[in-house]
Amino acid sequence: MEDGMTGRIFNIQRFSIHDGPGIRTTVFFKGCPLRCLWCHNPESLEPHSEIVFFPAKCIACRQCFEACPTGALALADGERRYEKARCRLCGRCVDACYADALVMEGRTATSEEVVAEILKDRAFYETSGGGATLSGGEPLLQADFAADLLARCHAAGIHTCLDTAACVPWAAFEKALPHVDIVLLDLKIMDPERHRAVTGAGNERILANARRLAGADRPVIVRVPIVPGYTDDEANIAAIGDFAREFPRLDYVELLPYHRFAEAKYRRLGRAYELEGVEPPPQERLDALAAILRQRGLCVKAPEA
C-alpha cells in the first residue's frame, strides 16, 4: 500500500471486550460533533490536544511554572492555576513534569503506526473472533484517516468495526464503509428537540444516515446509553426499538447503563460535570427497558444481575 495518512487519536486500548465481537483493539479518535451531557470520554471532544492535570501526582516542584512561556500556569493563593486562554499547547510543561502530573491528551499518529499496534494481538483476534474497532469521539470526523486505517486492517486480514454516532455527512460513511465489517451505531433520543437539548445537536442527520446505513448491507449493533432522567423513559426506548426494526442486518440492541467513572476526567480537564448527583440505573429498570425491546422482537444485550 502507499504511504499512510496521519490523524489525531488519544488512546489505543488493547484487549477490549466491549467494543464489538471478540477481543479487540480499540483506537480512540479525537474530536466529536456532539456534546452529550453524559459523555464518558470528555478527552475525545475537542479535535486538538489538551493538557490534563492529575493533582494526586503533583509534587509541587513548580518546574511546570518555569517551563511555561506564556504564564498560563501560576500559583495563586497557594493553589495551582491553569489559564487555558493563555496556553499555546506547546507541551513544555508536560516535558518538565517528571512526576507525570501533567499529560498531553491527544497526539498525531500515522496509519502504519496504529496498524502495527493492532497487529500485536492478531492471535487473540483469531481465537475470539475479534479485531480492530475505531471509536472516539467520532472517527468519521477524520474520514480519510479512518478509511485508510480500516483498509490497512482489511489488507492484513483483521476484522473491522466502526463505532459511530452518525452525526456526520453521508460522504464520510461512503469512504469508510467499504472497509467495515460491522457498525456500532449509537442512538440516544428519538425526539429531535430533546436530543438537541442534551447533545448540542438535533438527530435529523443521524436518523437519515441510519436509514441509509440500513440499506448498506452491513451488520449493525444499535447501542443505547441508559441515562436516568434523559434517555430511560419507556416512550424513548420503544421509539428506538421501532426504529431499529428497520435494520435488515441488525445483530442486537445493546443497553449501556450510565456510570460515573468519568467524573474525575472532567475535573482533570478543568470542566464542569453536568450530571452531578445522577445515579446509575438500577437493575430492575434495565430489565424493564430490555423487555420493551424484546416485545418488539429484538435481540437485546443488557447487563444482568
Query: Got the DSSP string for 95-112?
Result: HH-TT--EEEE-EEEEHH
Phi, psi for 238 (deg, rounded to 5): -65, -40
Three cell numbers at 56? 494526586
**Checking DSSP bridges between strand 182-186 and strand 159-164, what pairing results, if any?**
parallel
Going by CATH, does the domain composed of 6-46+107-301 fall within 3.20.20.70? yes
Rounded mean pLDDT, 166-172: 98
Indicate if the pLDDT at residue 201 is higher than 90: yes
Rounded mean pLDDT, 109-135: 97
The pLDDT confidence band at residue 191, using thresholds 50, 70 and 90, is: very high
Three cell numbers at 41? 470520554
| Separation between Cα atoms, residue 183 and residue 66, nearest integer Å | 47
Q: Give the 3-state secondary structure of residue 134.
A: strand
279: DSSP letter: P
| Separation between Cα atoms, residue 255 and residue 224, nearest integer Å | 5
pLDDT for the residue numbered 2: 65
- Average pLDDT over the chain reads 95
| Separation between Cα atoms, residue 295 and residue 305, nearest integer Å | 20
Residue ranges of domains in the chain: 6-46+107-301, 50-105
Q: Give the 3-state secondary structure of residue 265.
A: helix
Going by CATH, does the domain composed of 50-105 fall within 3.10.20.30? no
Q: Global pTM?
A: 0.92
| Separation between Cα atoms, residue 126 and residue 128, nearest integer Å | 6
Share of the chain above pLDDT 90, in %: 86
Indicate if the pLDDT at residue 1 is higher than 70: no
| Separation between Cα atoms, residue 199 and residue 193, nearest integer Å | 10
The pLDDT confidence band at residue 73, using thresholds 50, 70 and 90, is: confident
The pLDDT confidence band at residue 82, using thresholds 50, 70 and 90, is: confident
pLDDT for the residue numbered 127: 97
State how far Cα 295 lies from the chain centre. 30
